[in-house]
Each structure stands twice: as C-alpha cells, then as structure tokens.
Amino acid sequence: MAEKIKIFDTTLRDGEQVPGCQLHKDEKLRVAAALDKLGVDIIEAGFPISSPADFDSVKSIAEQTENAIVCGLTRAIEKDIDVAAEAVKPARRSRIHTGIGTSDLHVFTKLRTTKEDVLDRAVAAVKYAKKYVEDIEFYAEDAGRTDNEYLARVVEAVVKAGATVVNIPDTTGYCLPDEFGAKIRYLKENVKGIDKVDISAHCHNDLGLATANAISAVQNGATQVECTINGIGERAGNTSLEEVVMIINQHDDLPFYTGINTQMLTDISHLVSEKMRMPVQPNKAIVGANAFAHSSGIHQDGVLKNRQNYEIIDPAMVGANGSSIVLTARSGRAALNYRIEKIGVKLTKPQLDEVYQEFLLLADRICMVDDEDLKKLVGDYVVTNINS
C-alpha cells in the first residue's frame, strides 16, 4: 500500500531568509492561507524569537490556519522555545522545531564545545519544549556532514526524550543522493525507537541536488520532506515543493503519495514569486514559463501528433494554461500550420511552403513570431496570391 509523505512547507521561514524577500504580515497571512488550501501538512510559519514582527506573524498564522500543523523554529535555547510556544499556541495543531548543529564543524568551530555537550543540549531542548506541546521536531543542523554514528546517537537520544519528528538537514547541500539516502537508511537501521517517529529530509540546493536528495531520502525511509514553493531559500535555495510533489505523483513505481492539490501549484508559485519579488526562472521545472512550451520543429511535430511524445505531465494537472507551441527559427512547418490555423486561416500545402520561407526570414530577424506577426505574414501572402 502507498505510504503518505508529509509535506512540511518552510517558504515562510527558510524561504523568507532570502535577502530582499522579507514579507509583511498581511503577505505572510495570504501565503499561509494558500499553503493551507494547497494541502501542506505542516507550515513552518517563522522563527518567532528573531523579531517582534515575526512573532506576531507566526501567532496570526496559528490563529487563521484551518488544517495544517503550524510550526515555529527555535535554537536549542529555553528562551527561544518559550517564545515559539507562545507564538504557536493559538493553532489547532502546533509544533515546536528545535535543534542544534551536530557536524564536527558546527560542534567545534561554530558552537565551540564538545559532542557530549551538544548531545546534552539537544536532549534538554526537546524535554523543555515537550512541556508546551506534544509535537516536537528536532533538527540536527548540518546532518549531511555529520558522521552517521554520532548522528544516530543524537537522534536516538532525542527520540527517547520525546521528539516526534527528526529532521536530517543537508544544511550546506553537500551530499550526493546515494550518500544522503544511505544516511537515512543507517538511521532507520541503527536507531532504537526510530519507527515511532517521522524522519524528515531538509535539503539545500548548493549543488543542484536538493530535490534528488529529498527523493532519495524518501526511498530510504524518510516520511516527511521539507521544501519551499519555487525552491526559494538561502543561497541556492531549498528543495522545491512542486518538484517533490510531482515526482511522487508521476512515478507509479514510487509507492508514495502526498496530500497536495497539484492543480494549485501554478497559482501558488505565481503568488509567492509576486509577494517575494522573486521571478521564477523560465526553465524552472513544473512552474517555469517554459515548462510546457515547445519551440523546436522536431518536438513541435511530436507534441502535435501526441502531447505525450514530449510531455510527461498534463499541464492541467498543475494548473498551467496548457502546452504552447512557440514559433522561432527552429520551428517546423507543422507548428507554423498549427498556429496559422489557430488564427483562423487555412493554407494549402504549396501556400504553407511559401509562407514558411518568409516565416524563417522573419524569425531569424525577430527571434519569436507572435500572432500579430503571423497575421501580417499570412495577409501579405494572401494578397500577393490573389493579385497574381
């Protein structure tokens, strides 16, 4: 039987850490409402101790959210936990997300302490948070570069202390998919009590591997994926929600599903892009402007005969406007004819051959030919032929 993969959205926390993308409270409430409708399981609404405005936003999101669990981030510090607990209190279902760095780099050069101290602080934070809420997620920051044996010790200790979810972040986006999957498998096989909790994959995209690593984690036992709309986030960003969801959705060979309403993906991508003033790259998977655009003659001919020749996703499934046949100097006769028919003109084969030559000259000059250009092209041709 297929297993549900929980979608933990951190657009409003890790995503909002992008310089220049900070949102005002009303914008955050709008995005949070859209995420709740989209069907995410958890909304990480912010880092409440970071500023009074963030606290206020998390609290308001907690008040308005109808379905998702509302989560607030903390360090493994009591004051952080007190403030986060207060912020998420109004939520129907709330979670505190606490944690500490576990890699040698973080332990020795960031925290400047010992591994035993980190372990103690991790356990103490979980126990402390537990007095406020039942649902505690623990993150082992830089788990991607943490040695598996020590990571397993920390994870086992926090599970024993009451953590309900253990988050394994590849904070610097360093891991390879096999390596990250093996890390999750190692925890599954070596941590007592691990089957009682969710393992969460939180991957960064520094080497462009965030989505691949998250999927590898799922294939090896992770039951929650942390992601952001459009993959936004610090540096090269986080795992992209729409990519993970559509990979799981499209691959029947993956025995998983999510609760996401995929038809809302395009709209929410636009919303986040607009509110965060962060354009989506045109070639972005699933939601980019060119995700369903075909411009080369060979592809256009194939798509016009059967969309599935070059599309693995029905655009309607992600709420996109449909496939588009874009006319460039690489386009073929089939595409040109298709677009000419769309503006209501029917040409014979010899006529099409002639228009095609004129079209190529134009396309070489102006790169992309639109309907207005086409009307002129066909109009001139028809006039010329009528007169001759």
Q: What residues line the site for Zn ion (CB under 5 A)? A: 14
User: By C-beta, is 177 or 266 nearer to ligand KIV?
Assistant: 177
CB of 145 to Zn ion, least distance (A): 14
363 to 326, 332, 347, 377, 383: CA distances (angstroms)? 11, 12, 19, 11, 21
8 binds, among Zn ion, ligand KIV, none (CB under 5 to 8 A by kind): none
200 binds, among Zn ion, ligand KIV, none (CB under 5 to 8 A by kind): none
Which residue type sits at 80? D
CB of 75 to ligand KIV, least distance (A): 9
User: By C-beta, is 102 or 269 nearer to ligand KIV?
Assistant: 102
Q: Which residue is nearest to ligand KIV (CB)?
A: 169
Q: Which residue is nearest to Zn ion (CB)?
A: 14
139 binds, among Zn ion, ligand KIV, none (CB under 5 to 8 A by kind): ligand KIV
CB of 107 to ligand KIV, least distance (A): 14
CB of 73 to ligand KIV, least distance (A): 6
CB of 216 to ligand KIV, least distance (A): 17
CB of 184 to Zn ion, least distance (A): 17
Residues in touch with ligand KIV (CB under 6 A): 14, 139, 141, 167, 169, 171, 202, 204
User: By C-beta, is 202 or 294 nearer to ligand KIV?
Assistant: 202
CB of 10 to Zn ion, least distance (A): 7
95 binds, among Zn ion, ligand KIV, none (CB under 5 to 8 A by kind): none
With the CA atoms of 257, 263, 267 and 269 taken in that order, what torsion angle do they form, in degrees rounded to the nearest 10? 30
User: By C-beta, is 141 or 242 nearer to ligand KIV?
Assistant: 141
User: By C-beta, is 111 or 289 nearer to Zn ion?
Assistant: 111
User: By C-beta, is 15 or 177 nearer to ligand KIV?
Assistant: 15
User: By C-beta, is 9 or 14 nearer to Zn ion?
Assistant: 14
CB of 137 to Zn ion, least distance (A): 13
73 to 66, 80, 92, 320: CA distances (angstroms)? 20, 8, 17, 33
User: By C-beta, is 200 or 262 nearer to ligand KIV?
Assistant: 200
HEC profile of the chain? CCEECEEEECCCCCHHHCCCCCCCHHHHHHHHHHHHHHCCCEEEEECHHHCHHHHHHHHHHHHHCCCCEEEEECCCCHHHHHHHHHHHCCCCCEEEEEEEECCHHHHHHHCCCCHHHHHHHHHHHHHHHHCCCCCEEEEEECHHHCCHHHHHHHHHHHHHHCCCEEEEEECCCCCCHHHHHHHHHHHHHHCCCHHHCEEEEEEECCCCCHHHHHHHHHHCCCCEEEEEHHHCCCCCCECEHHHHHHHHHHCCCCCEECCCCHHHHHHHHHHHHHHCCCCCCCCCCCCCCCCCEECCHHHHHHHHHCHHHCCCCCHHHHCCCCCEECECCCCCHHHHHHHHHHCCCCCCHHHHHHHHHHHHHHHHHHCCECHHHHHHHHHHHHHHHHHC
